Amino acid sequence: MPQHYRAVVCKFFLKGNCLMGDKCAFLHKWDKSKLPICDEFKKFGSCKDGDDCPYKHELENKSECNMFRLGFCVYGDRCRFHHTHFPGPPPDPATIEAAKPKQFRRKGD
């Protein structure tokens, strides 16, 4: 069974139109703590539907952005992952490359 199996309420179930039924990998019951994050809120920081929107409007459970952790994320403020700002410059790329398993390193490193 996948690690996150039925950890989040199914978006289609919330709308009343999930076609997967019992085969769906998402939760098919109302659980406020397991609601998915609103896409509009995630992208823009607000939702035009307000109180009528059935999704979660908080970002405390966002995963850390791996690209930002390495120094730069092309999505910036619109990234769906959390950006933690650390003091100092980003890590040296050579250090990051050396930390990768050999099969994933660039040739010559």
Task: Give the tens place of pLDDT for each residue, 41-88.
Answer: 877 778 888 778 888 887 666 678 888 888 788 888 777 777 887 777
Express the helix, strand and coil content of the chain in percent, nearest 5 each: 35, 5, 60
Q: Would you list the domain boundaries of the chain?
A: 11-52, 66-104
Contact 95, 86 (CB under 8 A): no
What is the CA 98 to chain-centroid distance, rounded?
27
Distances (CA, A) of 99 to 4, 103, 108: 28, 11, 14
**What's the CATH number for 11-52?**
4.10.1000.10
The pTM of the full predicted model, rounded to 2 decimals, is 0.48
Alpha carbons 20 and 56: distance in angstroms, whole number? 23
> What is the pLDDT at residue 1?
53
